Structure 1
């Protein structure tokens, strides 16, 4: 295993054959603000998009990522935050594709280079089963580049728990020691490392490319 910030040189026993990618913040540039700006007051959008998010968007999205249904959650949301905010949250979910303005720069090229090098590419994401389709609707080239994707909302398992990493390895017939996993959240990287995958904290496409080369991937 590697630590979460730096790759170490691979050996014949753990040569990298496959790379697993998180989605938001790694493959796709997710921006809540891109969906809401221009449709609601700027001050409200700033509050929703702040790290402390007093209106619970991220917290309720986490519930959806765990497999809970929007129809059930919006009842709870309305009780907690009122009708006006429930309308904002509903708009956000119904227009989720607008929060995905682009792929992360350099990642489409990295996927292409991995394919050319004979390295498998896979997805593992905490995402609602109700909105995940927007990722591939917006970026069909991403769906084409990945051999498959495990989505927490479908599986009712989520990072950083070991079971979703183990499911990913089993489903795609991967060996942990031969896999790299990139995520932009430290606890999810630690979760990958805990099951024997080379978990690395994602910064940008150039650093990911550097880390893969350090692990012996010829790209």
Structure 2
């Protein structure tokens, strides 16, 4: 760990940073291609990402499903239920270079932590499928368990308190701009994640050596 850097700890988002999350990977081959294309379209016409946000905020799937049926119809609701029940298929791999980055940071003496918007009902799948997360991360704050949600300040403040960190000595990596801005608003260093090599450059820009 460099004495020149103010940063002692790195906090990682999960999906889009540590893990490759793709709804399409779960649905392809099980439902008609045109239906999968509509579900996975950027404008979210069938609300999958909107319903998943509700799960991430702490709601139970059982409480959300009546809204899915009413708003999308039985057929799409059945696909959403399949998606939730086969969520591991939407997580095909850790993103390239990220397991090594966690190893390198820990070896250099930095703390590594997790902070994710994720359902309390499905978060176990990430740790079951990728046990190295549990081995490498010292602790993880999960929105659906806490019923707090990025980018609101309270979830960052909870993570800092639970991990015993100061915002000025912590850096957060997330693939979503509003979540990066949320971390910066509570005084943390933060970068938008694009890939492992860019993350290494961003962390090095703070004087970190690993």
State the TM-score, normalized to the length of structure 1: 0.93
Alignment partner of 2:126: what SS?
helix
The answer for the alignment partner of 1:155 in structure 2 is: 146
Q: How does 1:133-144 map to 2 (within 5 A)?
A: 133-144=124-135
2:21 equivalent to 1:58: no
The answer for the alignment partner of 1:171 in structure 2 is: 162
The answer for the alignment partner of 1:68 in structure 2 is: 59
Give unmatched runs, 5+ long, in structure 2: none
Q: Distance in 2 between matches of 1:89 and 1:195?
A: 35
Pairing partner for 1:199 from 163, 168, 190: 190
Instruction: Return closer, same or farther for 1:199/1:30 CA change in 2, 3 Å cut-off.
Output: same
Q: Distance in 1 between matches of 2:36 and 2:73?
A: 17
The answer for the alignment partner of 2:16 in structure 1 is: 25
Q: Distance in 2 between matches of 1:215 and 1:37?
A: 41
Q: Displaced runs of 4+ in structure 1, greater than 3 A?
A: none
Shift of 1:11: 8.5
Q: Distance in 2 between matches of 1:119 and 1:97?
A: 30
Shift of 1:186: 0.4
Alignment partner of 1:26: what SS?
coil
Give unmatched runs, 5+ long, in structure 1: 1-9
Pairing partner for 2:91 from 86, 100, 109: 100
2:119 equivalent to 1:128: yes
List per-residue Cα deviations over 1:83-126 (Å, max 9, x = no partner): 11111000000000000000010000000000100000000000
Shift of 1:81: 1.0
Shift of 1:174: 0.5
Q: Distance in 2 between matches of 1:154 and 1:142?
A: 18
List per-residue Cα deviations over 1:130-166 (Å, max 9, x = no partner): 1111111110011110000000000010100000000
CA RMSD of aligned residues (A): 1.2
Q: Distance in 1 between matches of 2:15 and 2:68?
A: 24
List per-residue Cα deviations over 1:14-72 (Å, max 9, x = no partner): 61100000000000000000000000000000111110121110000001000011001
Q: How does 1:181-196 map to 2 (within 5 A)?
A: 181-196=172-187
- Report the number of matched residues: 209
